[in-house]
Every structure is written in structure tokens, then in C-alpha cells.
Structure 1
Amino acid sequence: MAGASSFSAIADWLHDLDDIARARLGFIRVVPATTTMWRLLTRLDADLLATVLAGWLRTRTAPAVPRPRRYRQVIAIDGKTLRGARRGDGSQIHLLSALDTSTGIVLAQITIATKSNEIPAFAPLLDKIESVLGSLSDILFVADALHTQTNHATEIAAPGAYLLIPVKGNQPTLFAQLKDLPWAQIPIGDQRRDRGHGRRETRTVKAVTLTTPGGIAFPHAQQAVRITRTRTITTSGKTSHETAYLTISLPAANAHPTDLQDWARREWLIETSSTTSAM
């Protein structure tokens, strides 16, 4: 957080502080040696430290401002492999993180066990988020298709939260059900055009309420969503098309196509955030 990326740099940072700043950290007489700082930091509980720092960062954010009527706190969940960090056996460290997309703060993160993956860490991550926020009620979670799991949908619904999730090949039955909906008959709900980074992009959202209980193979789903993206490279004129299918557990009255357009893009934020981690 102070820009130091080694134990020596951390010790140098401490020595450069004035007396008042060092006293606030509890160093009243002398600054500990580098080896002492190493012993201290390596013995810290990393998960507990992440929770404490997340809470501290939230106290440093600007006061809340009036929000639009349908404003909803959106938390993006994603896994990342830490560059340059390895365990004693040489394996890389992988974290599952939860990012508050409105503030850019990582609220919680879980270290993935060596012989495991992100899926078992999902429920413990929700517990950590709840310990930081106090409640998960009315929060919308977004994640990538790896977390399109029925258990995850149930775990999010239990405390009164909601889920917007893409559907891909890891859920073939659900993917086929969404793809086979009569999209040609469903009107466009929202369409946006952007220019930048040497390309033009059009994003079109269609959404339909799932009126038949059990109509698709995913619990708590209220709407099916299709987002089509058309990108044209300005210099070459080459055009590409991409179609994404999603489900959301919010009804249409509380999740308009314009909202869906915005929320679907929130998941991308955690992919590009590299400076907001609480660790």
C-alpha cells in the first residue's frame, strides 16, 4: 500500500517516516530491524489482514451521494494468479477476490488451496464480504461463467442478494435453453455505441422474463438476457460479432435493460483493476 515490494523496502520506508508517523504505527523508541519486520509480517494471518484493511479502506472513501432510484451496489467476483508470488513448493498463489465496483475497493479475498479451485472458495468469500459490509441484502453479484453454479445461486439468494451471471459451455443444458429462446421476437431493450481504442463497438441488450417455474435449469433466475457485441477495427474495417447469454435473479421491474447493460460491464472492472487489492 506504501509502494514497497520487499521486506527491505518496507524497513526503508519505516526509517524514512518522521517521528509522529512512526509513533502512530507504535514505533516510539526505535524502528525495528529488517529481520524483525520480516518475522512480524510473515506471521500475520493474511486473510484477517485483508479483512481489516478492507474495512479501513471503506472508511477512507467519500461519503455516499444520492443515487438513482434503481441504484444497486454491485460486487464483482473473480480469480487472479499473483505474479511473482509463490509457495514453498514453487506453485503460484491464486486468489478469489470480491471488488466493490463503485469504489474500486477489494472487500475480501480467499487464497485458493494448492489442489483446489475457485468454486469451493465461493461460499467462504461471501462470509468474508458479509463480515465487512454487515449484510448482503439487496447486493448484486457479478462473476464469470466459472461460477454459474446452482449452489452459488442458492448461497447468494439465502441472505437476500442477487446474481447476474453469464452462461457458457460449462452449463450445456442451460446454455441451450437460453439460446433457443425466441430472441428474434423479443424487442431490443437497450443499445449503445462507443468509439475508442481504435474501434467502434455496438452493444445490444434483450431481456425476457422467465414466466414458467423451472423453465430453465438454474435456480432463482427471473430473467434471461442476451447481449450482442459488434466490434469494427477502425484501421482495417474488420468486424467481429459476439453473443453472450446471462441470467439474473432480479425481476424486470428492478432490472431494466439499461441496468443490465451497465451491470454486465461491471464484471470487466475486476479484470483490469490491479491497484485496489487490500493486500
Structure 2
Amino acid sequence: MPALPSSLISSLSVAPALTVSETAGGLTTALAGVADPRARRGVRHRLCVVVTAVVCAVVAGYRSYSAIAEWVADAPDETAEALGIAADRRPSEAMIRRLLQALDPDVLTTAISGWLVGRATTSASGVRRAIAVDGKTLRESRTAVAAADHVMAACDQGTGVVLASTDVDGKTNEITPLPAVA
């Protein structure tokens, strides 16, 4: 099996188009256990629908609340309907922001991580597993008083699942902190 390209963009540009059910299938079920922090009165969009749309927007490269809301607003009607959003009534930026800020991040991380683990395929027995290890500087983590954060992760190239990650001190090569990831 050839190695995956290091750029997600190059991987996606040559990959065939996928439907929403192929890429986000089961996420709404995984999010069913996440408690909705909003009052029941006036809720127009179910929590699992909004968070699924947010996950799709973030995977597409949208990071800020306003950018995520733009993705939701600009998504084709077929995509919105597949996500469970009425084409003529999309979630606003303010609603998305308030909902995400009110959610417990640990519960949301657990739910999405469980969904990702369930999507990981296992390799056939006898097939060697290729694991890529790489260190990265986290974007926008540097402040006026602190240096940028650095992390190192090990990723299964067959499934694309991050197996482990750890914070590392300063910019270093991948060999020194490798035992911490293993």
C-alpha cells in the first residue's frame, strides 16, 4: 500500500466525491448522548444536527464561528437536507456560537472520538501496519508571553486514525520524543 500524502488537501483533491452519509454517517447517533444545554422552548435545530454541520465545516477548513456559519449558509440545499437542516431555515452564527460555547468540551470530545474510533477500519491479519510519526507547531498557539505549542502524533496510514499524541518541549526532531508517543 502506498504511503498517504502528507497534505490532506492533496488527498482530497484526487479522492472521489463522497456523500454526506458516507462521511458523516453515524455521527448523529454518536451525539445522541450529548446533553443539549439549551432550554427546550424555541429550539429550532437539534443539537446533533448543528454539531454535525459544524464538524463538516471544520473538516472543510472553516475555523471561526462566522466562517462555520458561512459554510452552513452556503452549503447546497441537498447537503443541508442530508444533514437534517431545512434548506430555507439554517442555523445562524449567533446560535452556533452560543451552542458550542455552552457545550461541555470533554463530553463533546468523547462523543466525537468514539464516532471516529468506530469508523476506523482494522487491517487484515498478516498485513503490516504503517505508522507515520510527525511533529507540528499548533497554529495560533503563540501569545505575547508564551511560545507556540508543539505536539507530536502517531497516525495509522491505513486508517488515518491518530493513535497517540503528546506535547513536546520546543521544536525538536521526531526521534527524541518518539518513546513518549509509543
Q: Same fold by TM-score, threshold 0.5 exceeded?
A: no
Larger Rg computed on CA atoms: 1
TM-score grouping bracket, smaller chain normalisation: 0.3 to 0.5
TM-score (norm 1): 0.31
| Structure whose residues are more often helix by fraction | 2
| Structure whose residues are more often strand by fraction | 1
